[in-house]
Amino acid sequence: MQRGLHGKLVVNEHDSWRRRNEFNDLEQQQISVQEQKKNLVKIEKEEQRTRYLHCKT
């Protein structure tokens, strides 16, 4: 950010794009974490199923 006339803060276009890109990056990270959690749940369920089947025999 820069200071314009009368000392007021001015957001230039570069700052705006940088913040938008940072937000998009955070959003992608959040989606990635959610997908990883879903995959972990699937893996845990499959492991439980496998243990159950092995115990049953």
pTM for this entry: 0.59
The pLDDT score that the predictor gives to residue 56 is 75
Indicate the pairing of strand 9-10 with strand 2-3.
antiparallel
The pLDDT score that the predictor gives to residue 4 is 60
How do residues 15-49 score in pLDDT, each as one tens digit? 888 888 999 999 999 999 999 999 999 999 999 99
Cα separation of 24 and 17, whole Å?
A: 10
Q: Where are the domains of the chain?
A: 2-56
The pLDDT score that the predictor gives to residue 43 is 98
Task: Please tell me which residue, 42 or 5, carries the higher pLDDT value.
Answer: 42
The pLDDT score that the predictor gives to residue 2 is 58
